[in-house]
Amino acid sequence: MFTLPELEAAAALVHAAFPPTASYAWPLLAARTGSEIWVKHENHTPTGAFKVRGGITYFDRLKRDRPDVRGVVSATRGNHGQSLAYAGARAKVPVIIVVPLGNSTEKNAAMRAQGATLVEHGEDFDAARIHARALAERDNLEFAPSFAPDLVVGVATWALELFRTAPPLDALYVPIGLGSGICGAIMARDLLGLKTEIIGVQSTGAPSYALSFAAGRVVETQRADTNADGMATRIPDAQALAIIRAGASRIITVTDDEVAHAIRAYWTDTHNLAEGAGAAPLAALMQDNRKNQRLGTVLCGGNIDLELFQRWVLGGTGT
């Protein structure tokens, strides 16, 4: 899809906006799991999540191809929308974001603070995505999908940074929402010629990619029931699925209880706050129970609502 020089050029664009995020091996996570655990801290970007990288590269291409673009419209549960709002403001392009009804109030507030106009529509992300595309067609605006090559090459820069910072990793666990994060990791690994096993992670309540991976074709689900809203996808992207099936070894599903346990582990062991999708890879890693290896995980975002954190994470038991 891209060459290594093109990926490095994307990293230069991203680093013009903010520096590389940290990668650390945390000793308490090692004691907890029995393996050396490297964490890529994408919760430390300007939007608190990894997707801002894709927004930057997306708007760079858009402004070169369509300098007269009137505006961009997209759909999100939060982090993709914050990414577009942040990058759109830098590019001076208006951004409209469609979110499902009942979406995170704090993520909605963050998108508005970045300058986006919000529209609330539909019961879930996929309904919001259909409405966003209709708005783009009606008003002659650019529709920004959640998965596209321009987004993936930007998102892939988190994995490029990790692979060049950490020692060689036996495996890397990556959550799957619509697929840009894991596809970016596969791209970076392959371009660097590494042998790291890449393992996808989904919620047991939103397993569309896990089902599709097993079936070898896109499998839609009727519902996406999980507190980890960054993974609440019912309809996989066919292009993303093809990349994942070719480059990932498997997909692990985790329960909301396991994710809550991982959020607590991140807090007690590293004093970093993770949202559901950000903690899901650690939940899968702990479920996998691999000992005496060097494992990687991406804390892809820390944007969890206070009310959800109190109800879901603090309402649970154990560490």
Query: Which string of DSSP letters, residue by residue, matches 120-170?
Result: E-SSSHHHHHHHHHHHHHHHT-EE--SS-HHHHHHHHHHHHHHHHHSPPPS
Q: Are 108 and 126 members of one domain?
A: yes
d(CA 251, CA 198): 9
Range of the domain at 209: 4-50+149-313
Encode pLDDT of 201-235 as tens digits: 999 999 999 999 999 999 999 998 999 988 988 99
Beta strands, E only, the chain: 23-25, 36-41, 72-75, 95-99, 117-120, 142-143, 171-175, 197-203, 250-254, 294-299
Residue 318 lies in a domain: no
Q: Are residues 156 and 259 in the same domain?
A: yes
Q: What's the number of CA atoms in the CB half-sphere (13 Å) around residue 66?
A: 13
Which residue type occupies 315? G
Residue 286 lies in a domain: yes
154 and 236: one domain?
yes
> Does residue 309 share a domain with residue 203?
yes
**Last residue within a domain, chosen from 143, 161, 182:** 143
Strands 23-25 and 36-41: antiparallel
- Identify the pLDDT of residue 126: 83
- Is the domain of 160 the same as that of 286? yes
Q: Would you give per-residue pLDDT tens digits along the chain (319 residues)?
A: 799 999 999 999 999 999 999 999 999 999 999 999 999 999 999 999 999 999 999 999 999 999 999 999 999 988 899 999 999 999 999 999 999 998 888 989 999 999 999 999 999 888 999 999 999 999 999 999 888 899 999 999 999 999 999 999 999 999 999 999 999 999 999 999 999 999 999 999 999 999 999 999 999 999 989 999 889 889 999 999 999 999 999 999 999 999 999 999 999 999 999 999 999 999 999 999 999 999 999 999 999 999 999 999 998 544 4
Are residues 253 and 123 part of one domain? Answer: no
> Do 32 and 101 belong together in one domain?
no
| Final residue belonging to a domain, choices 108, 143, 178 | 143
Q: Which of 111, 143, 175 is the last residue of a domain?
A: 143
Shared domain for 68 and 182, answered yes or no, is: no
Query: Which pLDDT score is estimated for 318?
Result: 45
With respect to residue 104, please indicate whether it lies within any of the assigned structural domains. yes
Q: 251-307: per-residue pLDDT in tens?
A: 999 999 999 999 999 999 999 999 999 999 999 999 999 999 999 999 999 999 999
Is 82 a member of any domain?
yes
pLDDT for position 32: 97
**Statement to judge: residues 110 and 202 lie in one domain:** no
User: What is the CATH classification number for the domain harbouring 79?
Assistant: 3.40.50.1100
Which residues face 295 on adjacent strands? Answer: 37, 171
Q: Do residues 288 and 176 both lie within one domain?
A: yes
- Say if 164 falls within a structural domain: yes
319 falls within a domain: no
Same domain, 121 and 8: no
Q: Which region holds residue 300: left if phi is over 0, alpha if psi is between -120 and 50, else beta?
A: alpha
Residue 55 near residue 88, CB atoms below 8 Å:
yes
- Residue 285 is assigned to a structural domain of this protein: yes
Question: Residue 283 falls within a domain, yes or no?
Answer: yes
302 and 157, same structural domain? Answer: yes
Domain count, the chain: 2
